[in-house]
């Protein structure tokens, strides 16, 4: 059985006191972390999740609420966890230079350090399924700021398939990209359509019938969504939510 743990479920701005995007998926072959927002170390510590458990970090795009936690995740692995277990960081094209550049800008240069564990960076492609460590990954582009190289994923650790939207506005191919997933973790930043590059509850409601997915859970909740979540007809994630699949 796979377990999904929502480490962070807020929009970029920490609405409702939530943490930024990070979702742990545990399967029979290992564990992966989908996105690593700036608050991820705090979330993992709060939930009692050992960083050493994570075999692979899969980044959806280069916005800080999705990859801003990587520099200090890596430094904690090095100095606090005494990590020896390999770590793969997988994401859009330029993943390695973006992460190294981010770390440098934050004052934590990665290049000058000795890494006592194998640290590798891998770029996803868009043609079919790829295998990275314990995960089979199918990537697709999303409707979000192009410079952030936005991607969504279908991921399997040998069991159920989990689709993840990353950040996106509505685009007509989205249902096809997530079709067949047992769980679709979908961003829903707004109640009403506000921007082309984030989804709203209105749009998800309008298109729900076209999405052939087993279970749909909304995350990346903005302030209105946080306030209204008890009154809507969709499941929403909270920090710390654990699901068995």
Contacts (CB under 5 A) with Zn ion, residues 148-167: 167
Q: Which is nearer to Zn ion, 62 or 132 (CB)?
A: 62
Q: From residue 162 to residue 191, what is the string marking binding to Zn ion with x (rule CB under 5 A)? A: -----x------------------------
Residue 119 to residue 99: CA distance in whole angstroms: 12
Residue 65 found at the interface with Zn ion (CB under 5 A):
yes
204-223 binders of Zn ion (CB under 5 A):
none
Task: Name the minimum Å distance from CB 33 to Zn ion.
Answer: 15
Taking the least distance from each CB to Zn ion, the nearer of 156 and 190 is 190
Nearer to Zn ion, 60 or 156 (CB): 60
Give the DSSP per-residue string, 128-175.
Answer: SEEEETTEEEEEEE-BS-GGG--EEEEEESSSSEEEE--S-B--TTHH
Closest CB to Zn ion among 10 and 161?
A: 10
Minimal distance in Å, beta carbon 20 to Zn ion?
A: 7
- The footprint of Zn ion on residues 10-39 (CB under 5 A) is 12
Considering only residues 19, 26, 63, 83, which one is a binding residue for Zn ion as defined by CB under 5 A?
63
Cα Rg of the chain, angstroms = 17
Judge whether 38 and 15 are in contact, CB under 8 Å. no
Q: For the range 74-79, what are the long-range contacts, defined as Cβ-Cβ under 8 Å and sequence gap of 24 or more? A: 74/103, 74/108, 74/110, 74/119, 75/108, 76/41, 76/51, 77/51, 77/52, 77/117, 78/113, 78/115, 78/116
Residue with tokens 């996803």: 124
Q: Which stretch binds Zn ion (CB under 5 A): 56-64, 76-84, 96-104, 119-127?
A: 56-64
Residue numbers at the binding site for Zn ion (CB under 5 A): 12, 63, 65, 167
């Amino acid at each position: 059985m796979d377990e999904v743990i929502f480490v962070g479920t807020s929009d970029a701005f920490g609405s409702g006191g939530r943490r930024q995007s990070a979702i742990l998926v545990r399967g029979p072959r290992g564990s992966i972390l989908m996105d690593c927002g700036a608050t991820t170390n705090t979330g993992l510590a709060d939930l009692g999740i050992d960083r050493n458990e994570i075999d692979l970090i899969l980044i959806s795009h280069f916005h800080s609420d999705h990859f801003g936690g990587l520099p200090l995740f890596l430094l904690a692995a090095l100095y606090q966890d005494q990590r020896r277990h390999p770590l793969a960081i997988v994401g859009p094209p330029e993943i390695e230079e973006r992460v190294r550049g981010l770390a440098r800008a934050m004052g934590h240069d990665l290049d000058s350090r000795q890494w006592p564990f194998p640290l590798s960076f891998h770029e996803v492609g868009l043609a079919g399924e790829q295998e990275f460590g314990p995960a089979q990954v199918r990537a697709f582009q999303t409707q979000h700021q192009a410079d952030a190289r936005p991607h969504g994923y279908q991921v399997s650790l040998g069991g159920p398939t989990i689709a993840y939207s990353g950040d996106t506005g509505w685009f007509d191919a989205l249902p096809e990209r997530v079709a067949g997933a047992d769980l679709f973790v979908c961003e829903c930043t707004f109640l009403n359509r506000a921007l082309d590059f984030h989804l709203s509850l209105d749009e998800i409601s309008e298109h729900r019938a076209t999405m052939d997915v087993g279970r749909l859970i909304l995350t990346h909740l903005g302030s209105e969504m946080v306030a209204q979540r008890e009154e809507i007809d969709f499941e929403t994630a909270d920090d710390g939510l654990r699901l068995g699949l």
